[in-house]
Structure 1
């Protein structure tokens, strides 16, 4: 059967030959721009196939709406997701660099005696540890030479910003550097160097723009022009020919990646308040079952807390004499001031020392005596942590007038750390040893602790020979 397209073609030929206008064949070759062809075929049961080449205008078409198209796409996506096992699982991770921080204060006594030491010559602090590495502070009173290779390698433009802030001609300036002393170590660290004074804000030169790489023993970072010498010598930071240089070091110890599967939540957990709750029992005297009398003051406490925290009270309250002691109306404490006993109970209940400045109205001599009393009590009660905390406070207050008496105290109460600190303080200067000998505490040391006196003179002789 002749198709409709073929019949249309044959019917156009006579008119074409006669020069009459005939329908254009271009419509048969390509779709009209304003419409599209609608093709249809018969079903399998039809006797013939039909091709409809009629053209529809744009108005005749019903395009899919955006909602319909989105629904179709979503249905397709859902089907695809379902075929792959359901929805999307989200996990998170976080990079949190770990750091260790430390601070060291380098005291330079007799600053004027270091003038003229020479360019490139320095005095060096004792080693201090931060992040498992040893460091020291180096002070160049006449400046550090720029001809030093280490100066360029580890100090020149250490910020990496192309500036000359870290180096220049250091004539007329003092130089300060922090130096890595650990062998075969590669360390990244942030550093600050400051002049400090008890009554002034720190004068800081900071290197915390970005971490510095310390590559091996002797590598350093600092400032060749730390401060102009004339400005330093005219400032309040140099007092009684004494200068304090503070170094803050933050070592980057690692960058672990923490993964938290299937959650985007981060719930902050508050710190433990267990010690505060326990202290409430002391402050409010809840269920107290033992009473102490110190001079004219009475203190209530709890036997189980005292026995749990101190071997001394455990033996006294739970030992053979415990029944007799607890039947008394109160237990009398001798050789201790009420304020010191109150501080002792505070430590037993909270594992910390109270702020004694307010109680003693800022009287440094009373504070020193109370700390000494607490050290003796800590030794008697077996509280090693408290004893070392007291030793640390006393160590920071050492001076010629009290160092001999403090050494005697350390020897009597088996505090090796404080004993070593006292001996080191005395032998640090020959003149200082002579001043200590004429102090009142020296006679006490001589009478009570002759063994410590012998050790002092032996170490003093060795340091002078060295």
Structure 2
């Protein structure tokens, strides 16, 4: 969505990096938002702070940060847009990815957004993400630390822009971001045209076979034969060994590619159960999102059980996070006293041996 012009203030920023591979230029920029509450209070919706310029591919760029959204319909979101400086000369076609960073400096999958390829005109309107971060989510999250948070901007651009690929950009037309997830979420809620019913621990859920089959190879295998035999009739399936609230969250992800908002221990427990569901139904993106959530909820009570879960389901990143957590002698001593560690030693002696070897090497 192109961003309208507006007066802007400067904001500090730490560093940039770029590389050229063949005819493609990639660049990375880290934007540090210091004093979030002050910017939110000072700037109304539609007003932005512009970063200092940074260089990618020999051209000067900057980022516009809207603490209260691009326009009134985005007032509950932080908006971010990329601009090409007027000194750049020729237009540049680029794809941009914006990522919210966690405390370890790693991208948060649920708050990572990539734009479609866009032709940036020197000194022209920008392009970016209007609904980048929900302000309600940000203000409750651990990513806002001491009133600060960090965003990365990755730029992938072609060195040569073909004439036939050029699209005239207009400051009068604003194309909104995709709202497909909202429409599919409404479809799930309304159940219009639903043709499959699930019985889960006494609760009934209705859904759409074509969407389930598109999102999960396991659902596709389960429903394909049934669809060929009775495409116009309602099919009923029973789901065993899953709680209704977990299946509800699974359906929410299938339709919207996102998880319902949760907090604290509720999020940790749901992430654990959804990870198992992701493995069961062959959904790798959901599995990685759950791994990321569990990494952020590691504590003395959960470290041992999470390590077991990671081992059982081949979650390499989550396993390394657990081991890194246990490298602290103080934390390890506390974890050893938990019931989870007792279960670990009795049921997974080989894993305990591997853990001890890695801790000894450290």
TM-score (norm 2): 0.55
Matches within 5 A, 1:275-424: 275-319=181-225, 330-357=236-263, 364-424=264-324
- Structure 1 residues 351-403: Cα deviation after superposition (integer angstroms, max 9, x where no partner): 1111134xxxxxx3333222211110001111111111111111111111110
Matches within 5 A, 1:32-181: none
Tell me the distance in 1 between the aligned counterparts of 2:177 and 2:229. 39
- The counterpart of 1:441, out of the listed 312, 335, 340, is 340
**Residues 270 and 201 of structure 1: is their aligned pair in 2 closer, same or farther, counting only changes over 3 Å?**
closer
Number of the residue aligned with 1:460: 359
Number of the residue aligned with 1:248: 150
Larger Rg: 1
**Residues 450 and 132 of structure 1: is their aligned pair in 2 closer, same or farther, counting only changes over 3 Å?**
farther
Q: CA deviation at 1:189?
A: 5.8
**Residues 435 and 330 of structure 1: is their aligned pair in 2 closer, same or farther, counting only changes over 3 Å?**
same
3-state SS, counterpart of residue 192 of structure 2: coil
Tell me the distance in 2 between the aligned counterparts of 1:329 and 1:250. 46
**Residues 321 and 301 of structure 1: is their aligned pair in 2 closer, same or farther, counting only changes over 3 Å?**
closer
CA contact (8 A) 2:216 2:282 kept: yes
**Residues 462 and 330 of structure 1: is their aligned pair in 2 closer, same or farther, counting only changes over 3 Å?**
same
Tell me the distance in 1 between the aligned counterparts of 2:220 and 2:156. 44
3-state SS, counterpart of residue 356 of structure 1: coil
CA contact (8 A) 1:307 1:314 kept: yes
Q: CA deviation at 1:446?
A: 2.0
Q: Which has the higher contact order (CA 8 A, sep 6+)?
A: 2
**Residues 264 and 288 of structure 1: is their aligned pair in 2 closer, same or farther, counting only changes over 3 Å?**
closer
The runs of 5 or more residues in structure 2 that have no matched partner are 6-12, 20-26, 40-49, 56-144
- The counterpart of 2:349, out of the listed 450, 453, 459, is 450
The runs of 5 or more residues in structure 1 that have no matched partner are 1-93, 95-101, 104-128, 134-186, 203-207, 214-242, 358-363
Q: CA deviation at 1:262?
A: 7.9
Q: Which structure shows the bigger proportion of residues in strand conformation?
A: 2
TM-score (norm 1): 0.44
**Residues 308 and 435 of structure 1: is their aligned pair in 2 closer, same or farther, counting only changes over 3 Å?**
same
Aligned length: 242
CA contact (8 A) 1:190 1:210 kept: no
- Root-mean-square deviation over aligned CA pairs: 4.4
CA contact (8 A) 1:408 1:444 kept: no
Q: CA deviation at 1:267?
A: 1.9
3-state SS, counterpart of residue 330 of structure 1: strand
Tell me the distance in 1 between the aligned counterparts of 2:287 and 2:298. 17
Matches within 5 A, 1:177-326: 192=32, 210=52, 248=150, 266-319=172-225
